[in-house]
Amino acid sequence: MRAGGFVFFKTNHMSGLLRWLIAAVVLSAAAFFMGEYHNDVYRKLLLWVTLALGYNFLFGICGQVAFSHFAFYGIGAYSIVIFLFQLHLPFPIAVLCGIALCILFALAVAIPSTRLEGFYLALATLALGQLFIVVLNEGGSVTGGTGGIANYRLPELFGMRVRGPWYTGVIVLLLVFTYSILKRLDDSWFGRACRAVRDNPEAAAAMGVDVARTKVIAFTLTSALAGVAGMVYAFVDNTVNPPIFGIENAFLLLFMVIVGGAGRHAGAVIGAVLLFLLPFWLSPLVGHHHALVFGVLVVAAILFQPGGLIGLWDRFSRSRS
């Protein structure tokens, strides 16, 4: 639909499934050529890209300003750990319960706030994000308090325990799964309805779009996807603790999408990769002040390049052709 959509390979004739498979294999295989440290960085990068893709659908495509994405990531992560190791639920049940929990919370936030102006969703999700951290810190033995929960392991599935670079493969699957769902939605009547709601809600309603319902579905779906990503994250370091799921990271996610180019999958990927890797290069130069550089980047993007880096790329490739 849109030129420059994020495609792994230009293979129109190749069947969709095969294309996804190849992408997954290539991205996973890379993990086997890395040392432990780089593998760790690579995994976090893949998770950030996954989160940015989901958040881009909510913020960039549907136009909803929400700060709860990391709270849902955390709800997913904590719930899988608690359900598995404290309630001793079977693995598939624990996963389903975790997703159900995310959906429940998402509906509880979205249904009242999407009926109001967009500002209230921002407020409600900000509150949820803060509340979640408080609950984690005060959760006693259930959440492990400020120290979180550690010393658990991914249970054996079908007699195997996935670990090392193989677990990177699981994260790649998560990324491909997330992207394929978002891409299908975006290319359908639903994605168009989301963009219409973002651009002009009154006209969208006149065209037959149920504005409130569209917003609630987009919010719930992307929140549930964040929850699933959180479940995968829980077994990356085999530890979950509160700071990861705070508001700072929710803002970083917003920055990634804005700098990369809101509303475009490729933009979300570029923004996530850039802002995730930037601190690694910057910290030798500016120490912990890289947040300042991010701030400048975001302000520059908003003022001078609202299409983000992907928009810049479009202009560049158009002027060359």
Residues in contact with other proteins by CB under 8 A are 1, 16, 180-181, 184-185, 187-190, 192-193, 195-196, 198-200, 202-211, 217, 263
Q: Supply the minimum distance, in Å, between the C-beta of residue 17 and other proteins.
A: 9
Dist CA 132 CA 52 (whole Å):
20
CB neighbour list of residue 83: distance below 8 Å, 6 or more residues apart: 89, 93, 94, 97, 98
Residue 117 CB burial class (10 angstroms; 0-12, 13-18, ≥19): exposed
Dist CA 180 CA 1 (whole Å):
15
Give residue 209's Cα distance to chain centre.
Answer: 26
Q: Supply the minimum distance, in Å, between the C-beta of residue 210 and other proteins.
A: 5
Q: Which is nearer to other proteins, 30 or 211 (CB)?
A: 211
Q: Which is nearer to other proteins, 148 or 227 (CB)?
A: 227
Q: Which is nearer to other proteins, 198 or 265 (CB)?
A: 198
Q: Which is nearer to other proteins, 43 or 215 (CB)?
A: 215
| Dihedral over Cα of 253, 255, 294, 132: its sign | negative
Q: Supply the minimum distance, in Å, between the C-beta of residue 132 and other proteins.
A: 27
Q: Which is nearer to other proteins, 137 or 180 (CB)?
A: 180
Q: Supply the minimum distance, in Å, between the C-beta of residue 176 and other proteins.
A: 13
Q: Supply the minimum distance, in Å, between the C-beta of residue 202 and other proteins.
A: 7
Given a contact cutoff of 8 angstroms between Cβ atoms, the answer to whether 218 and 64 are in contact is yes
Q: Which is nearer to other proteins, 211 or 247 (CB)?
A: 211
Q: Which is nearer to other proteins, 87 or 100 (CB)?
A: 100
- Inter-CA distances, 237 with 55, 131, 168, 233, 241, Å: 23, 24, 12, 8, 11
Question: What residues does 160 pair with on adjacent strands?
Answer: 157
Q: Supply the minimum distance, in Å, between the C-beta of residue 87 and other proteins.
A: 29
What residue type is assigned to position 1 of the chain? M
Q: Provide DSSP, 272-313.
A: HHHHHHHHHHHHHHHGGGHHHHHHHHHHHHHHH-TTHHHHHH
Q: Supply the minimum distance, in Å, between the C-beta of residue 86 and other proteins.
A: 32
CB neighbour list of residue 80: distance below 8 Å, 6 or more residues apart: 94, 95, 98, 230, 231, 234
